[in-house]
Amino acid sequence: MGLLSKKDAALIKDPLADNNPITIQVLGICSALAITAELEASIVMSISVLFVLGVGNVVISLMRNIIPSKIRIIVQLIVVATLVIIVDLVLKAFAYELSKTLSVFVGLIITNCIIMGRFEAFALGNGPWRSFLDGIGNALGYAVILIIVGFFRELLGSGTLLGIPVLGDPIEKTGLYAFGYENNGFMLLSPMALIVVGIIIWVQRTRNKTLIED
Amino acid sequence: MGLKSSLHNFREKNKDKKWLPAFSAIHTFLFLPNETTHNGTHIKAADDLKRTMNIVIMAMVPCLLFGMFNAGYQHHLAFGEIQQATGGFFSSGFWTMDNFMVGFWKVIPLVIVSYGVGLAIEILFAMKNKHEVEEGYLVTGMLVPLIVPIDTPLWMLAVAVAFGVVIGKEVFGGTGMNILNPALTIRAFLFFAYPTWMSGDKVWVQGAVERDQLIAAGEKLDAISGETVLGSLAQNKGAGYEIMDMFNGFIPGSVGETSTILILLAGLFLIFTKIGSWRIMLSSVLGALAMGLIFNGVVSSGWITESSKFFGLMNTEFWHHLLIGGFAFGTVFMATDPVTASQTNKGKWIYGFLVGFISIMIRVFNPAYPEGVMLAILLMNVFAPTIDHYVVRGNVKKRMKRLKVKTA
């Protein structure tokens, strides 16, 4: 990336793998479990978080010198809440069906630990440009895991991807279903999302031994 | 040089080959190795782990054979080809070659898939982590075919076994380190992933699902119902079978779980050989009876009317719960698993009692599937270390008090 200095590029690259907010810091698990049964919902959730975290980090960073530290959590909450409401209203206006699927979880972006975590840990102590990169990076790290989990859960659980049947028709018994294949109902339940996230963590730490804590 | 020593020499010679664990697994399966098991939380005596496992497998073989006969018997009975067997456990209408062969050809593939997939994964992990293949899977591999419906598609079983062995056991560090009983993890996976193959009134009789599909395709055949005792009780239709049939095991159900008498004998055998814990088995039975009595009390005091959907199961006489469903099998073979059960004696009483108590509770209240042994044991597996912790703490406290009295 010629556009960014090495240090800035690391802000984006690190959260994608070796400092991933979900698999390494184990934050934001709640929404990762709840809405990943469909790939589309995962993608929309990822975009929402990308927006909230990117913009939120910049806003907090701009205000960092005027926020009294005693009430900084409240200020952060107001910023997130405002952004989340924007997202919620946009979804309701332009993707009503989807916003029904995501239901309460759009609102719960407010409580997503990744967002408050980045505000506290990064935006309060860094300039707006770097905060923006950090926000984008962490949101992308979150998105990568959400999309991987959503991909496998929808493919194995419903036999579709983005709502399009890819394994054949389970009722007409075409494609894979002709051989007796059946969708795995467990994949649609939240415990399986936890297990899939666990498997990702397992694979990641097997490939990079330095990530293993004692 | 005998075969045994030449095999041993062969092993010594190839000590650092990558495939050695695979060889050792098969080698030690047939011959006693020169060293015995030396670690794992469940090793509490000088017995080799393999000895322990073999005894449990021996206890399961009668259930397996019975399951084959019963599979054929239920099949022929449901298809109207034979009459109901009368004349007790040794009824000649039950123990026929015809019955056995039907079951044999259905059960043996289940056994082969279960062992094949499970051992392949064990060997893979052993080679990767460079340790011996652990014997833990020997029992699990035998348990699995006994606790699934006879018509379970083989690929589903393979997927479930792979999941159970990897997620239920290997990620925790292999045999002796697992939190949940692997066989029940496999069954739970099947149950949640493919509920249509694990519940309902078709899957328990060999051929009934197939018949159902033919009818759906437009053929004029009679539908077959192979409702389990619990299933029909849950629908307030009464048990539908004589008590002796339940005790003998001439009822539909998972392959090996039906015959209470054989499981009882196996349980006594395990207690006699000191492999299974009598504390767990006894307290589990007591727990089940207690819960059954509570339900009976609720019915007789009139809190539950006949129109309630729980009436059928609640009204079942409390001790009948021991004879139906998977309770006996779960208590004898699953709850006593030395790895996942409580280790302390007092803990075993608490653990076992709660297994029985919760089993019957879930059985009655579970709306979708009238059975709770699997879920109760898995739940208590999770709590077993906690129970042990408090038992040990309690003991320490008691001794501290005694020490203070003495020194004061």
Q: What is the pLDDT of residue B353?
A: 93
Q: What is the mean pLDDT of chain B?
A: 82
Does A129 reside within a domain?
yes
Give dist(CA B42, CA B38) in Å, integer.
Answer: 10
Does A100 reside within a domain?
yes
What is the average pLDDT across A92-107? 81
In tens, the pLDDT along A9-54 reads 777 777 777 777 877 777 878 878 888 888 888 888 888 889 988 8
Instruction: Take residue B326 and report the two structure tokens written for it.
Output: 């998977």
pLDDT value at B25 more than 70: no
Confidence at B122, pLDDT banded by 50, 70, 90? confident
Most confident of A36-45, A126-135, B277-286: B277-286
Measure CB to CB from residue B194 to each of A182, A189, A195 and give the nearest one.
Answer: A182
Q: What is the pLDDT of residue B113?
A: 92
Q: What is the pLDDT of residue A1?
A: 46
Does A135 reside within a domain?
yes
Q: What is the pLDDT of residue B31?
A: 57
How many domains are contained in chain A?
Answer: 1
Q: Which of A108-117, B202-211, B288-297 has the weakest average pLDDT?
A: B202-211
Q: What is the mean pLDDT of chain A?
A: 83
Which helix (H) or strand (E) is A155 found in, with range?
A: helix A128-158
Q: What is the pLDDT of residue B161?
A: 93
Whether A206 contacts chain B with CB within 8 A = no
Q: What is the pLDDT of residue A122?
A: 84
Binding-site residues on chain B for chain A (CB distance < 8 A):
153, 155-156, 159, 167, 171, 189, 192-197
In tens, the pLDDT along A160-174 reads 888 788 777 777 777
Confidence at B383, pLDDT banded by 50, 70, 90? very high
Q: What is the pLDDT of residue B4?
A: 64
By C-alpha distance, which of B125, B130, B118, B170 is closest to B18?
B130
pLDDT value at B239 more than 80: no
Q: CA of B178 to nearest chain A CA: how many angstroms apart?
A: 15
Give B-chain residues touching A198 at CB under 8 angstroms: 167, 171
Q: Could you report the predicted ipTM of this complex, rounded to two decimals? A: 0.81
B90 or B187, greater pLDDT? B187
What is the average pLDDT across A177-197? 83
pLDDT value at B306 more than 90: no
Q: What is the pLDDT of residue B391?
A: 93
pLDDT value at B43 more than 60: no
Residue A204: other Cβ atoms inside 10 A = 16
Q: What is the pLDDT of residue A2?
A: 57
Give A-chain residues touching B167 at CB under 8 angstroms: 195, 198-199
Q: What is the pLDDT of residue B377?
A: 92
Whether A125 contacts chain B with CB within 8 A = no
What is the average pLDDT across B242-253? 82
Give A-chain residues touching B153 at CB under 8 angstroms: 180
List CB contacts of B180: < 8 A, sequence separation 6 or more: B168, B340, B378, B381, B382
Whether A172 contacts chain B with CB within 8 A = no
User: With pLDDT > 90 as the criterion, what percentage of chain A qualifies?
Assistant: 1
Cβ distance A186 to B153 less than 8 Å, yes or no, reads: no
Confidence at B36, pLDDT banded by 50, 70, 90? low
Does A11 reside within a domain?
no
By C-alpha distance, which of B78, B92, B84, B104 is closest to B201?
B78
In tens, the pLDDT along B212-222 reads 777 777 777 77
Whether A207 contacts chain B with CB within 8 A = no
Q: Contact B251/B327 with Cβ under 8 angstroms?
A: no
- Indicate which of B194, B378, B382 best probes the interface with A, i.e. most A CBs within 10 Å of its own CB: B194
Q: Show the domain range for A145.
A: 21-207
Residue A50: other Cβ atoms inside 10 A = 17
Measure CB to CB from residue B193 to each of A185, A198, A202 and give the nearest one.
Answer: A185
What is the average pLDDT across B377-395? 92
What is the average pLDDT across B294-314? 80
Q: CA of B191 to nearest chain A CA: how many angstroms apart?
A: 8
Q: CA of B193 to nearest chain A CA: how many angstroms apart?
A: 4
What is the average pLDDT across B90-95? 78
3-state secondary structure of A117: helix
Q: CA of B213 to nearest chain A CA: how many angstroms apart?
A: 12
Label each residue of chain B as H, E or C: CCHHHHHHHHHHHCCCCCCHHHHHHHHHHHCCCCCCCCCCCCCCCCCCHHHHHHHHHHHHHHHHHHHHHHHHHHHHHHCCCCCCCCCCCCCCCCCCHHHHHHHHHHHHHHHHHHHHHHHHHHHHHHHHHCCCCCCCHHHHHHHHHHCCCCCCCHHHHHHHHHHHHHHHCHHHCCCCCCCCCHHHHHHHHHHHHCHHHHCCCCCCCCCHHHHHHHHHCCCCCCCCCCCCHHHHHHCCCCCCCCHHHHHHCCCCCCCCCCCHHHHHHHHHHHHHCCCCCHHHHHHHHHHHHHHHHHHHHHHHCCCCCCCCCCHHHHHCCHHHHHCCCCHHHHHHHHCCCCCCCCCCHHHHHHHHHHHHHHHHHHHHHCCCCCCCHHHHHHHHHHHHHHHHHHHHHHHHHHHHHHHHHHHC
Q: What is the pLDDT of residue B151?
A: 84
Cβ distance A180 to B153 less than 8 Å, yes or no, reads: yes
Cβ distance B192 to A198 less than 8 Å, yes or no, reads: no
Q: Which of B133-137, B168-172, B378-382 has the weakest average pLDDT?
A: B133-137
Q: What is the pLDDT of residue B227?
A: 75
- Nearest-CA residue of chain B relative to A156? B193
Measure CB to CB from residue A186 to each of B155, B171, B192 and give the nearest one.
Answer: B192
Cβ distance B156 to A182 less than 8 Å, yes or no, reads: yes
What is the average pLDDT across B57-82? 85
In tens, the pLDDT along B104-114 reads 888 899 999 99
By C-alpha distance, which of B115, B108, B146 is closest to B254?
B146
